Chain A
């Protein structure tokens, strides 16, 4: 049986691209789209996957990561699906890819103007935890009434003395729409502001697409006396590579019981370690 290029039929891809264009035209606004059935279950990255499949062409080079890793089961399976239905080239190197599909991270290497970052989104609605009704949240977005997003942060300050949202930290896009940036760590929020590449966000289960076009203002919500802060890794060093100043995972050595840190973006870590090795080799 023959399969259409990139699994979806041409009309579906066209519809998704049309909604994507609308999302780019209204930065941060959630555009509804007809989420298609895919060979993977909803909630496992189908929003991102549909964006990637609708955009991918024969010349593209695709990279897929899951929590910073190219090797996790989810990333490998999605990459295999894209590869087997399109035959396009894939890579682990961020700077070589034209489309980067990611779950929960923006890579350490800054995006370039020709690159598209596709993020998988579980809950696209930043007001959902304070307002369960979709009809009402649509009205709130229309009125630019975002006190719901702020009282959530305010309540965290009241209960814990500081804001506890570590991932999916809400942002105001282009001074108009408050957007859920998908569960990327706070650390990655500033990377969206005036970024060179195009960022697309797809929620397959919730049937929404939103976007941050290049060079758009993206500001993390905060209070005057409780400003936005990213996670601080300045005193931590990656055990594998010796890198610092990147987003790290905290791990426990099972033999010694010791806590150690490791760079989360594995392909970035590999590139850096290879550079180091080459440098040493040249010296010799």
Chain B
């Protein structure tokens, strides 16, 4: 268990709604139907999500489909806009009051220099027709590198790290298996040595032995590079293996959070209990 006082990412009361809201659901006592208002059909994808991420830790986010996990990740990576909320990256040299409010140019800079993202679907994170080296170099080019030699060296380094044979580096990811595509995505996300890595269901859909490879790689990256990570999964076994701390989400809200072992051994919320006891 690593806990330091170094917060690298901090989120306060982050909400995302689809729809205007009405007098019924904007009232604090208004009961929602799951995450939707029964009167005006506004969907609250995430509601008042608050958490901190510490240096070098892996934070797990679990919850069923539609609980707001992926929306949360997309907002953290600026793929989607928030409705309300505050997002701070204290270790960034500029350390703005709320990075949701900065210019889109600056958001791109933060994405390229502070964050790495691995999507569940490699199509979202990779250019499938471009070679693997180019995919990795894209993040470096975006942050201003204009030296081909330097970028190919960096790409080789990370392809080796994620166990992709270098003889296949000029091949396009569309020729690769799902596990290899996922590893190229991880290499790309790491290429700029970002302090924070966002992993959205990275092992979903992979077979068990490949899953194990990817998980081991993630653990190794945490250990060797001290990268902080947020891992979204609906698989509790993966959360148990990877994460120091865990948040449980339901209908867009964080219903329980704490040390992973504690949550799995002694779940407090009714939903978490159901989730833990349903492990086969």
Contact = CB atoms under 8 A, between A and B. Distances in A.
A151 B134 CA distance: 7
Interface in B153-183: 170
Given A159-B170, A225-B147, A225-B149, A145 B130 contact: no
A151 B141 CA distance: 8
B97 interface: no
Contacts of B149: 225
Contacts of A155: 130-131, 134
B261 interface: no
A281 interface: no
A185 B151 CA distance: 28
Interface residues of B, number: 19
Contacts of B152: 158
Contacts of B105: 143-145
Contact of B141 (A143, A154, A158, A225): A154
Interface in A133-155: 139, 142-145, 147, 150-151, 154-155
Contacts of B131: 155, 158-159
B156 to A, nearest CB: 12
Given A147-B142, A155-B134, A130 B127 contact: yes
Among B137, B149, B152, the one with the most A-chain Cβ atoms within 10 Å of its Cβ is B137
B170 A139 contact: no
A226 interface: yes
Contact of A139 (B104, B138, B141, B147): B104
Nearest to A139: B104
A143 B127 contact: no
Contacts of B147: 223-225
A146 B137 CA distance: 13
B202 interface: no
The interface residues of chain B, by DSSP majority, are classed as helix
B188 to A, nearest CB: 12
B148 interface: yes
B138 A158 contact: no
Given A155-B134, A158-B134, A225-B149, A147 B170 contact: no
A158 B137 CA distance: 11
Report, as a range, how many residues of chain A touch the other chain: 10 to 19
Contacts of A142: 104
B39 interface: no
Contacts of A145: 105, 108, 142
A187 B252 CA distance: 58
A159 B148 CA distance: 13
Given A139-B104, A158-B170, A159-B170, A151 B137 contact: yes
Nearest to B170: A158
A224 B134 contact: no
B148 A151 contact: no
Interface string A225-251: 110000000000000000000000000
A222 B152 CA distance: 16
Nearest to A221: B146
Nearest to B133: A158
B153 to A, nearest CB: 11
Contact of A224 (B127, B146, B170): B146
Nearest to A150: B141
Contact of A225 (B130, B148, B170): B148
A81 to B, nearest CB: 41
A145 B137 CA distance: 15
A212 to B, nearest CB: 23
A143 B137 CA distance: 20
B108 A143 contact: yes
A154 B134 contact: yes
Contact of A223 (B104, B130, B134, B146): B146
Contacts of B104: 139, 142-143
A157 B151 CA distance: 12
A106 to B, nearest CB: 26
B108 A151 contact: no
A225 B152 CA distance: 12
Contacts of B130: 151, 155
A149 B188 CA distance: 18
Contacts of B133: 158
A2 B141 CA distance: 57
A242 B186 CA distance: 58
Contacts of B134: 151, 154-155, 158
A224 B108 CA distance: 23
B278 to A, nearest CB: 41
A159 B171 CA distance: 9
Given A158-B134, A224-B148, A225-B149, 9 more contacts: A143-B105, A145-B108, A147-B138, A151-B130, A151-B137, A151-B141, A157-B148, A224-B146, A226-B148
The 5 closest A-B pairs by CB, nearest first: A147-B142, A147-B141, A155-B134, A224-B147, A150-B141
24 contacts: A130-B127, A143-B105, A143-B108, A145-B105, A145-B108, A147-B141, A147-B142, A150-B146, A151-B127, A151-B134, A151-B137, A151-B141, A154-B134, A154-B148, A157-B148, A158-B133, A158-B134, A158-B170, A159-B131, A222-B146, A223-B146, A223-B148, A224-B148, A226-B148
